[in-house]
Amino acid sequence: MSIEVEVPPAEAEAAPPSYTIEQVLTGIVMGLIVLITFGNVLVRYFTSQSFAATEEFSIVLLIVLSFLGSSAAFAFDRHIRVSFFVDRLSGRARVFFDWLSFAVTASLFAFIAFYAGRLTWDQYRFEETSPALGVPQWWYTVWMPVLAVALVLRLVASRAGRRA
């Protein structure tokens, strides 16, 4: 008497996962933050001194990480939303509030892009420098308008993808 067992295909044979550009960049940025922080901890432990400049890099990387994480959340439709009331509405009302959420979110990030762009331009024009390293301050802030525009584009692409 023999018993036959169906064996599911091995995980190794499954297709490798595909990642969005946001996920790849998020991993790189998180790795950089870990390396900078770990390096600072080691230096502080062995020399009782700190790298003052690491705070500048860590702050800008955390801002970049926030924008990348938001973009990834919108790409996979995993952004935070309060759906307690909306889930109880009719189909038409739910579609309206979904559209309203899109419009408000896209407007917010467009607003951030506009004003962060103005801030970056002012920092460039007035030649502001960073406190620790003395490099142009706009090197740090230029990422806010760039990533805010990218996030608006991701929102529009995600919205168009849901309609298709």
Q: What is the pLDDT along the chain (164 residues), one digit of tens a residue?
A: 555 556 555 555 666 677 889 999 999 999 999 999 999 889 989 998 877 778 889 999 999 999 999 998 888 888 777 778 888 888 899 889 889 989 999 999 999 999 999 999 999 999 999 988 899 999 999 999 999 999 999 999 988 877 65
Q: Would residue 144 count as lying in a domain?
A: yes
Q: Would residue 15 count as lying in a domain?
A: no
Contact 16, 23 (CB under 8 A): no
What is the reported pLDDT for 96?
Answer: 92
What is the reported pLDDT for 7?
Answer: 56
Q: Would residue 3 count as lying in a domain?
A: no
Q: Would residue 7 count as lying in a domain?
A: no
Q: Would residue 14 count as lying in a domain?
A: no
Q: Would residue 5 count as lying in a domain?
A: no
Predicted model pTM? 0.81
Q: Would residue 8 count as lying in a domain?
A: no
What is the reported pLDDT for 48?
Answer: 87
| CA distances to 12, 34, 61, 130, 152 from 145, in Å | 41, 25, 14, 18, 10
What is the reported pLDDT for 121?
Answer: 98
What is the reported pLDDT for 162?
Answer: 74
Q: Which residues does residue 129 pair with via DSSP β-bridges, in sequence order?
A: 136
SS3 1: coil
CA 105, 71, 148: angle at the middle one, nearest 5?
65
Q: What is the C-alpha end-to-end distance of the chain, expressed in Å?
A: 54
Range of the domain at 116: 20-79+88-163
SS3 content of the chain, % helix, strand, coil (to 5): 70, 0, 30
Contacts of residue 20, Cβ cutoff 8 Å, sequence gap at least 6: 72, 75, 76
Q: Would residue 32 count as lying in a domain?
A: yes
Q: Give me the number of domains the chain comprises.
A: 1
What is the reported pLDDT for 135?
Answer: 93
